[in-house]
């Protein structure tokens, strides 16, 4: 039997951030939260990997909105675009909830904010 798991590769790309609007006349503003803790390489379980292979998909893409509080703790993870594999979506959400971010700064003050995480899983 061919080993379907040896050449699998996930890729995480962080994209846009939505944060509360504020005047920018004060101290520095950082609208992009930086992930400082947590593994971005989220692999599907073996059963899901086999399902992806049987479906003939060389790649699956999932898009998730991630919100963080003023301390950089993830408070919400919402599926924007499903990978179409429920078990994989659930695993991604669980893993993202364990991530930590450097707090978003608005006028030098920590603020809550949201970002979009796109995960692309390639199976060769």
Q: Show Cβ contacts of residue 108 under 8 Å, excluding neighbours closer than 6 positions.
A: 26, 27, 28, 29
For residue 73, is it within any domain? yes
- pTM, entire model: 0.75
CATH number at residue 39: 3.30.2420.10
For the chain, the domain total comes to 1
For residue 2, is it within any domain? no
Parallel, antiparallel or unpaired: strands 113-123 and 59-68: antiparallel
Residue 52 has pLDDT above 90, yes or no: yes
DSSP alpha helices (H): ranges in 46-107?
A: 46-54, 86-97
Parallel, antiparallel or unpaired: strands 74-81 and 109-111: unpaired
For residue 107, is it within any domain? yes
Q: Given CA atoms 94, 63, 11, 34 in this order, what sign does their dihedral have?
A: negative
Range of the domain at 69: 8-123
For residue 67, is it within any domain? yes
Place of tokens 């509080």: 69
Residue 7: CB atoms within 10 Å: 9
Q: How much is the mean pLDDT over the chain? A: 81
Confidence category of residue 32, pLDDT binned at 50, 70, 90:
low
Confidence category of residue 74, pLDDT binned at 50, 70, 90:
very high
CA–centroid distance for 86 within its chain: 16
For residue 1, is it within any domain? no
Residue pair 19/113 in contact (Cβ under 8 Å)? The answer is: yes
């Amino acid at each position: 039997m061919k080993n379907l798991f040896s050449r699998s590769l996930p890729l995480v790309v962080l994209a846009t951030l939505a944060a509360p609007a504020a005047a920018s006349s004060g101290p520095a503003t950082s609208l992009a939260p930086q992930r400082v803790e947590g593994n971005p390489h989220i692999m599907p379980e073996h059963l899901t990997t086999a399902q992806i292979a049987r479906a003939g998909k060389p790649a699956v893409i999932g898009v998730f909105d991630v919100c963080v509080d003023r301390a950089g703790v993830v408070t919400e993870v919402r599926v924007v675009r499903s990978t179409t594999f429920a078990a994989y979506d659930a695993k991604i959400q669980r893993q993202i909830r364990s991530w930590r971010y450097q707090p978003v700064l608005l006028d030098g003050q920590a603020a809550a904010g949201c970002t979009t995480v796109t995960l692309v899983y390639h199976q060769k």
